[in-house]
Each structure stands twice: as C-alpha cells, then as structure tokens.
C-alpha cells in the first residue's frame, strides 16, 4: 500500500475539512443518554450513527479501543466495520489504544494498527513511551513504511501523569521534554508536517517551559467536557498552535443521536478552533 506520509495527509485534511478530531467513545453513560442499551447492538447503533453523520465532515475520528474491547470479539467486529466505513467516507483514523511494550510485542502492536493487511489498520495510533522511547521503534518503523503516524503520550491532562512526565532526569531535563526532543528528531526535515506527534492536554495552561515545536502534530484532548475551550489553545500551545489537532468527544457526542445536531456541533467546534488559531477562512 502506497500513500503519502500521515503528516502530509493530516495537514491537508485539517486545512480542507477543519482542524478537529472527534472521538468515538461509546461508554455506558453515553449509550444510555442516547437511549441505547449497553450491549453490542447499542454499540453498533451508536458507532454507525457517528460515522454516518460526521464521516464526510471531520478531519479525524479517534475511536477509543477500550470501549469496543469490553464487548470482546463482537465489539472488535463493530470497530472493524467502523474503520472501513470511516475510511470510505474520507476521514482519517487515529486509534486511541495507548499501547506500549518492547521487542516483538511492540512489533505485534504495530502490525495490529499500522499494517494495511490488518482489519484494525488505522492512519495513526496513540502510544505510551514509558518503557523508553526506543521501545517504540517497531511502531515508528512501521509508520514510516506504511505512511502512518503515531502520537506519543508526552504531557497528558490527568494529574497522575505528572509524577512520571514531569520527573527530572539525571541530565536536568524532564521526561516529557525528552520525549518531545525525540519526536522532533524523528520529524526533522519533514514537510509540510511530520508524522510523529505528541499528546498534550489542552487543559494544562501555559506550557512555554516546554519546546512543543516538534515539527509534528500535537493531539490536544480536553476540549469541551473536560473544561478547555478552543480559545485556550494559543495560551497552551504558543507558536506551535497551528499544528494542534484539538480532540472533542462528549462535547460533540452528547448532541446525538440526531445526525444534524452532531454535524452542527462538530462544525461549531471547528469554526471556533479556526478563529482561535487565526486560520478562519484558510
């Protein structure tokens, strides 16, 4: 399978469809809010509704794998169908799986999400680097080979993350800063955007102490229900704000199951992001 690098495809998708990633998070409370049962049938109805409503509109879908895995093989079958339908509609797929391991096991995760022959093949996947950035090499290599991307957990919005991510190494740099430096090295020379991104919470406030200029995308969860707004993005991301991929889940999904309401909510968030980052009309 030959395709352009993920970073280039992401840049084009955000410029043409709007700078927004919508999560597909069918957790039990949201299924209930939609009047659906917390079972495979409810999962399938929810997921199909989201993809059909937004697949031709949003730049990126971010399915949360755990909410499908909890139903076992039947849940994964729903996820596989959703990936095929989203891809057919032209949306990019970022699998939120947060995988992290070493050696052949990391290679197996890479085969799962970054190999075109896999039924769970995605355009990008989230990864945890806390067995060492080098442990991600099988996935990084697979991403290059197949025109895919990865998003590495760097500065997450959960308070517990600070004890690891902001810990100071022997060289005086924080762990998060080291991860950002690794990503910048992987993206060196890539145009118009590298394919190796960082996950950086939109709720974290001023991050000027960190060099976010990794020449790659910055996935920014926390918009909407978690309290951040598009207007916060310039403060959090500074000069790197143009490369931010704001992620919204409940802020859009709570407007379902009405398809028109879902589309309107996604369009509103995308417009607010454009305005905030100075790309309105771009």
- Kindly list the catalytic residues: 98
Backbone torsions φ then ψ of 131, nearest 5 degrees: -105, 15
- How far is the C-alpha of 148 from the C-alpha of 186, rounded, in Å? 13
Distance CA 143, CA 6 (A): 8
Cis peptide before 139 (omega within 30 of 0): no
Helix, coil or strand: residue 168: strand
| Pair 175, 166: CB distance under 8 Å | yes
Reported in sequence order, the residue ranges of 114-250 that DSSP labels E, i.e. its strands, are 124-127, 149-155, 196-200, 218-223, 244-248
Strand (E) or helix (H) holding 119: none
Comparing CA positions, the residue from 224, 183, 228 lying closest to residue 204 is 228
Sign of the Cα pseudo-torsion (181, 236, 216, 130, in order)? positive
């Amino acid at each position: 399978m030959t395709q352009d690098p993920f970073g280039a495809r992401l840049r084009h998708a955000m410029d043409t469809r709007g700078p927004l990633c919508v999560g597909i998070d069918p957790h039990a409370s949201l299924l209930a809010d939609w009047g659906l049962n917390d079972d495979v049938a409810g999962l399938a109805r929810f997921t199909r509704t989201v993809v059909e409503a937004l697949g031709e509109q949003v730049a990126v879908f971010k399915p949360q794998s755990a909410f499908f895995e909890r139903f076992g093989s039947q849940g994964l079958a729903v996820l596989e169908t959703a990936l095929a339908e989203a891809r057919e509609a032209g949306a990019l797929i970022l699998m939120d799986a947060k995988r992290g391991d070493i050696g052949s096991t990391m290679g197996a995760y890479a085969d799962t999400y970054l190999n075109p022959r896999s039924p769970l093949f995605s355009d990008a996947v989230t990864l945890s680097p806390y067995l060492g950035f080098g442990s991600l090499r099988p996935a990084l290599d697979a991403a290059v080979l197949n025109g895919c991307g990865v998003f590495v957990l760097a500065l997450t919005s959960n308070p517990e993350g600070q004890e690891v991510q902001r810990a100071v190494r022997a060289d005086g740099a924080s762990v998060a800063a080291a991860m950002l430096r690794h990503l910048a090295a992987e993206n060196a020379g890539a145009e118009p955007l590298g394919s190796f991104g960082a996950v950086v919470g939109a709720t974290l406030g001023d991050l000027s102490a960190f060099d976010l200029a990794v020449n790659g995308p910055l996935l920014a969860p926390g918009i909407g229900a978690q309290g951040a707004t598009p207007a916060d993005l310039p403060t959090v991301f500074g000069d790197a704000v143009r490369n931010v991929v704001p992620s919204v889940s409940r802020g859009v999904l709570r407007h379902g199951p009405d398809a028109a309401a879902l589309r309107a909510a996604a369009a509103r968030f995308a417009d607010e992001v454009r305005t905030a980052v100075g790309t309105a009309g771009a």
